[in-house]
Amino acid sequence: MTAFNAFLLFFLDDEAPTLNCSDITSTTDLGLNSSSDVDVMPYATDNADADPNVTCSHSSKHEFLIGITTVTCSSTDNAENTGNCTFLVTVTDDEAPTLNCSDITSTTDLGLNSSSDVDIMPYPTDNVDTDPNVTCSHSSKHKFLIGITTVTCSSTDNAENTGNCTFLVTVKDDESPTLNCSDITSTTDLGLNSSSDVDIMPYATDNVDTDPNVTCSHSSKHEFLIGITTVTCSSTDNAENTGNCTFLVIVTDDESPTLNCSDITSTTDLGLNSSSDVDIMPYATDNVDTDPNVTCSHSSKHEFLIGITTVTCSSTDNAENTGNCTFLVIVTDDEAPTLNCSDITSTTDLGLNSSSDVDIMPYATDNADADPNVTCSHSSKHEFLIGITTLTCSSTDNAENTGNCTFLVTVTDDEAPTLNCSDITSTTDLGLNSSSDVDVMPYATDNADADPNVTCSHSSKHEFLIGITTVTCSSTDNAENTGNCTFLVTVTDDESPTLNCSDITSTTDLGLNSSSDVDIMPYATDNVDTDPNVTCSHSSKHEFLIGITTVTCSSTDNAENTGNCTFLVIVTDDESPTLNCSDITSTTDLGLNSSSDVDIMPYATDNVDTDPNVTCSHSSKHEFLIGITTVTCSSTDNAENTGNCTLLVIVTDDESPTLNCSDITSTTDLGLNSSSDVDIMPYATDNVDTDPNVTCSHSSKHEFLIGITTVTCSSTDNAENTGNCTLLVIVTDDEAPTLNCSDITSTTDLGLNSSSDVDIMPYATDNADADPNVTCSHSSKHEFLIGITTVTCSSTDNAENTGNCTFLVTVTDDEAPTLNCSDITSTTDLGLNSSSHVDIMPYATDNADADPNVTCSHSSDHEFLIGITTVTCSSTDNAENTGNCTFLVTVTDDEAPTLNCSDITSTTDLGLNSSSHVDIMPYATDNADADPNVTCSHSSDHEFLIGITTVTCSSTDNAENTGNCTFLVTVTDDEAPTLNCSDITSTTDLGLNSSSDVDIMPYATDNADADPNVTCSHSSDHEFLIGITIVTCSSTDNAENTGNCTFLVTVTDDEAPTLNCSDITSTTDLGLNSSSDVDIVTQFG
């Protein structure tokens, strides 16, 4: 007997799993400071467990921040043995900052060719750094010259990633040239009321152009009349900026009147030693004043004693310029006749600019002569022209005393202009019922005016309708005399109707050699008549033979204007011959597949040709194969019309077809155990038929079950010959599972450009398996970026049939950009009530777009008026999400008013050392206020002393900005000293013919100088000879103004002759009581 011992062996597992952990390096997600793309997948191996589970402190779904994160993992097997491992996840930043750079437009600084007002402010955004630094090739402190400067900027974050951008700074010149214009003072040219000596030379300076051109409303060649002329000048630089200025040209009159003084000789009043009949009438002419007043030291009322009296006269014009003259009144005892002269008024002779109807009849009376004769400068026979003629008459009595008179003959024009008006005939414009070609040009002649103007009720630009139009014209001359005339404008129609004639093409009537189907319908249009009648040489009823017929038509309108046209009627033969063709049936020749026994004989008839020829595609000699042969025949007549016919040659066959049958293999229909997709297509060949029909026991529409089915087929050709065959249909199952995949739409996670909220759950159905497994290229844990991601899935059933599907995961961005808007404060542009240097630069950040565009209701190019303007901005990202913001632009006025102050020159008031006629009128312009007030240190009421006075003015606008200016008032002395000169009478020195006892002592007074010096042509030391000596004296004050005077020194001889008489003794002549030898010699001592 054998004994057995039994025992159990227990094995315990005390070996922990081994984990495989490796450090991981990743970079930040786009736009973030973390990485979601870290694959935490350590795995464990164990001596006992096939696939031990692993758990870690962080999973792949964790967002790992920049830096180093320690991940601890462990794995416990079924025996509770735990293994551990640690590894590092290092996330680094490799995303460079994004710079926002926009092109900048600026304008030049005031007075410079560059701009210092360029705000270089590109800003960067970075996925990590809050405010990364930016460096640029140019800063805001750079002076940017006119033109385009390229600025390059870069920004480097703490991770040494560098982003760059480039933009353009465009500087334009918007500063107008500055013109230097000063008022100009000038005096009149000699003898004129204007000045040609005005130098118009304003110049311009510009911040860019070296010597900008200046154009003015008046040049230096202009004749400036007395008074104030405003001159406007402008200068435009190369950038089309225009500056303007205005100044005054003040022309004053400094020319004294010229006096016409003639010595006067008069005769004594009857029985007196004086004359009261001295006519003191010197007259003055002036370059400006028409009739300046004259005042004299003696008037005509003075009683002039016998002898010589010196009369001094002066005339002062409206400009206070004084002229002087001196003349002598010599009174002798001689009474002249008195003339009676009266002014005469007359009108012009008919058709002339003068009058011959003036009665010159002055008469004279004389203290002695009964009827003294009168002679005049003009007689009654003289032709007196329109205007005023001065006549001088004189009368001389027997004592040679002559009296004179002057009177005016005034001739006026009372004759109206004569108009020359002639009736006008015109014809209508082409295509119209009116005429624009009427020259309305009446002219007028006048006895006085050279070319009097004519006005009419209608001008040459008037459209004159057909018929008669009355035109009335008038002309008024310079004397307001008006003449009239009327004439007729007759417009007639001379335009013939226009006929529309086109050649007509027709074809012969059926079976004839002519056409009755020709529509003769030309029509006419006329500039006046609505529907003018048309007549033709042939009508539509005419039978037109084959060939060309010429038809002539005409149309006459109501004005008897006739238009004509000619056209052709072309009749052609388009009727083809008629062919007689019949089908032919034949059978194959013995032992052949064709027939040679076919008779081809069609014939033709034609409407014109007697026996047209016929040609065919096949002749009777052709071998016709089994089947149907189409034979085409044609016949062409002499008019090239071709008729055609077709006939069939039918050859029949009596040989049966041969069938070709092959076994068929198929698979089940989708979801079924049978196949409906079996193509039963055996085919047959025949000696004649190309594709004989085949019929089978089963068709392609039959549902063939899995297994083998026998199919029998047959084919009968067209000749009823039949052939047969048999084939097998074998059906197998090869259907793969069907997957259900639908496209998925998701939106981005907040602040990210991806979505983690996508549910990947496709499923499969199969015709055999209950629940087939599905695997996909992406799982629900995947981070799907914005856009479309294609996901592919598949499922394989137990029969190894695999089904696939593809669907799209579309992630869209529905997060709007965030805008950064800040209020802006600016000041007005120079000279304007608005600011053009407001930098509108809001920026936007977006979860997806790197640099979303921003649009605002106002741009940096906008002119912002003084006050507060609300600006609204928006930014739309590429996904059409829009963010908005609003901010305020506040513009204040910091520009002071500009005062226009020009130095003023004035002269002293008459007799004073100051001027009270200084016009203090500076004005101010302001960029905002329409008419700012101006206050000055001196007003126009101030008395300005000789010399220079400084005047200071200021103006403050509504914004409390104050502008100032200073100008000089220069008062000069232009008043000459006044000399007191009196005539001197002296007698000769004893025994001499001259006088040394003449005291020359004129003195002068002046408005400014206390005691002006006087110099004379003769001094008291001069020996004045008997007679009259004219002495001229002058005095010049400190301002170089010179006054003059003239007086007479009359020396008379009051010493009687001294006679030397001695007694004479003589003796008588021889033989006489007298003496002839006495020498009487008188000596005068």
The residue type at 285: T
DSSP string, 811-829: EE-----EEE---EEEEPP
Q: Position of tokens 């000055």?
A: 936
Residues 984 and 1084 both lie in one domain: yes
Is the whole-model pTM more than 0.75? no
pLDDT in tens, 313-366: 999 999 899 999 999 998 876 777 888 999 999 999 998 899 998 999 888 887
pLDDT at 525 over 70: yes
The per-type count for the chain, helices as H runs and strands as E runs, is 0, 106
The verdict on residue 988 lying in a domain is: yes
547 burial via Cβ count (<10 Å: 0-12, 13-18, 19+): exposed
Q: What is the mean pLDDT of residues 391-415?
A: 89
642-652 vs 584-587, strand pairing mode? parallel
The CATH number of residue 529's host domain is 2.60.40.10
Average pLDDT, the chain: 88
* Cα angle 891-892-896, degrees, rounded to a multiple of 5: 140
CB-based contacts of 637, cutoff 8 Å, min separation 6: 573, 576, 577, 606, 608, 609, 612
Distance CA 613, CA 701 (A): 57
The verdict on residue 212 lying in a domain is: yes
Residues 627 and 723 both lie in one domain: no
Residues 675 and 725 both lie in one domain: yes
833: pLDDT confidence band, cut at 50, 70 and 90? confident
In a 13 Å sphere around the CA of 899, the CA atoms on its Cβ side amount to 24
Looking at per-residue confidence, does 306 or 263 come out higher?
263
Task: Check: CB of residue 1013 under 8 Å from CB of residue 1078.
Answer: no
Residues 988 and 1061 both lie in one domain: yes
Within 10 angstroms of residue 808's Cβ, the number of other Cβ atoms is 14
The verdict on residue 387 lying in a domain is: no
The verdict on residue 453 lying in a domain is: yes
pLDDT at residue number 889: 93
Residues 665 and 718 both lie in one domain: yes
pLDDT at residue number 972: 92
The domain boundary, picked from 732, 762, 784, lies at 732
Q: State how far Cα 873 lies from the chain centre.
A: 31
Residues 72 and 101 both lie in one domain: no
The domain boundary, picked from 542, 572, 602, lies at 572
The domain boundary, picked from 492, 525, 558, lies at 492
1083: pLDDT confidence band, cut at 50, 70 and 90? very low
pLDDT in tens, 133-181: 889 988 888 888 888 999 999 999 888 999 899 989 999 988 889 989 9
Task: Check: CB of residue 883 under 8 Å from CB of residue 817.
Answer: yes
Distance CA 675, CA 32 (A): 58
pLDDT at residue number 56: 94
The verdict on residue 168 lying in a domain is: yes
Residues 1080 and 1001 both lie in one domain: yes
744-747 vs 802-812, strand pairing mode? parallel
Q: What is the mean pLDDT of residues 495-507?
A: 91
pLDDT at residue number 911: 87
pLDDT at residue number 642: 92
Distance CA 1043, CA 254 (A): 14
CB-based contacts of 660, cutoff 8 Å, min separation 6: 682, 683, 684, 685, 725
Residues 1069 and 980 both lie in one domain: yes
Beta strands in 467-528 (DSSP E): 467-476, 482-492, 498-500, 504-507, 514-515, 523-525
Residues 1072 and 982 both lie in one domain: yes
pLDDT in tens, 526-537: 988 888 999 999
The verdict on residue 149 lying in a domain is: yes
60: pLDDT confidence band, cut at 50, 70 and 90? confident
The residue type at 418: T
Residues 1062 and 988 both lie in one domain: yes
Within 10 angstroms of residue 856's Cβ, the number of other Cβ atoms is 20
In 3D, which of 1060, 1058, 1014 has the Cα closest to residue 1037? 1014
In 3D, which of 475, 512, 470, 513 has the Cα closest to residue 491? 470
Residues 1011 and 1075 both lie in one domain: yes
Q: What is the mean pLDDT of residues 488-517?
A: 89
pLDDT in tens, 268-297: 777 567 788 888 888 899 988 888 999 999
The verdict on residue 183 lying in a domain is: yes
Residues 672 and 686 both lie in one domain: yes
Tokens at residue 935, please?
A: 């206050």
Q: What is the mean pLDDT of residues 1023-1045?
A: 92
The verdict on residue 1073 lying in a domain is: yes
Print the domain residue range for 1024: 976-1085
Distance CA 231, CA 152 (A): 50
Query: Considering its fold, how many domains does the chain have in total?
Result: 10
